[in-house]
Structure 1
Amino acid sequence: MPFIRVSYLEQRYSEQQLKAISEGIMHALIEHFNVPEEDCFQVFHAHRASEFFYSRHYLNIERTDGLLYIQITLKSGRTTEQKTSFYRKLATDLSAAVPIRPEDVFVVLVDNEFEDWTFGSGIAQMLSRPATQAEVSG
């Protein structure tokens, strides 16, 4: 049940590249966090240069205007090992598919709980039915 927001500079990526980014994120989520394949909720935001700020050298990582901010809201419970392997896999896969520099893949995971979600109809669906293992992980 992750919800993904991806922000980038407008006109930086083509429609095909954005599709590859979307697919790369989903593949890494499925592989590392056991997210169900059909559990895909993503929003992409293109920003004008006047709306997009970042440090080009923070923590000695050289960033470019190809920077992607990827914010993933998901159920808590992942281990540090799962998270760090997810970061590596995502940067490597996006670097190969788009291409994008691994240094330009900026990820933030935001943990929350089942009661923090409604998938529509004003119902907390994850509370009102037994969860499968994949949903618990998602």
Structure 2
Amino acid sequence: MPLVRIDIRRNPDPSHVRKLGAVVYEALKATIGVPDRDNFQILNEHDEQHFVYDPAYLGIERTDGMVFIQITISEGRTVEQKKLLYQRIAEGLHAEAGVRPEDVFINLLEVKKENWSFGNGQAQYVT
């Protein structure tokens, strides 16, 4: 059910952004119960002109290694589940891809289940 969008500044390693996606998917499965095979991601790389961030907003020192992650999910998770998800993503990206935790920016969008269609013009989650 999640739709994940990951945006980074262009990386010389073509497999880098897919590695980030794998970490995020594993964190979703471990923390909020996303099932196997429920992996839908949009992975984008940008040049410096199309990748903008404040290097010190809220006192967090950011670098060009920034990773923007936007996750759209069905509503219903607790605040504790969300906090655990954020932590697991930041720790996983650091351990698996060398991303500084300060460079992990996550935006979670919650929608009602009726707002999903996974194909065939049907609302699969509407009963």
Which TM-score bucket, shorter chain as reference?
over 0.9
Residues 1-138 of structure 1: pairs in structure 2 closer than 5 A: 1-10=1-10, 12=11, 14-128=13-127
Q: Deviations over 1:19-55 (max 9, x none)?
A: 2211110111001100001100001111121111100
Deviations 1:46-66 (A, max 9, x none): 112111110000011010001
Q: Percent identity?
A: 39
Number of equivalenced pairs: 127
Give the partner amino acid of 1:29: L
What TM-score comes out, normalization by structure 1 length?
A: 0.88
Q: TM-score, normalised by structure 2?
A: 0.95
The C-alpha deviation readout for 1:68-99, integer Å capped at 9, x for no partner, is 10000000111111111111111011101011
Identify unmatched segments of 5+ residues in structure 2: none
SS in structure 1 opposite 2:15?
A: helix
When the two chains are superposed, the root-mean-square deviation of aligned CA atoms in Å is 1.1
**Are residues 27 and 95 of structure 1, via their aligned partners in 2, closer, same or farther at CA, if it must alter by over 3 Å?**
same
Amino acid at match of 2:44: H
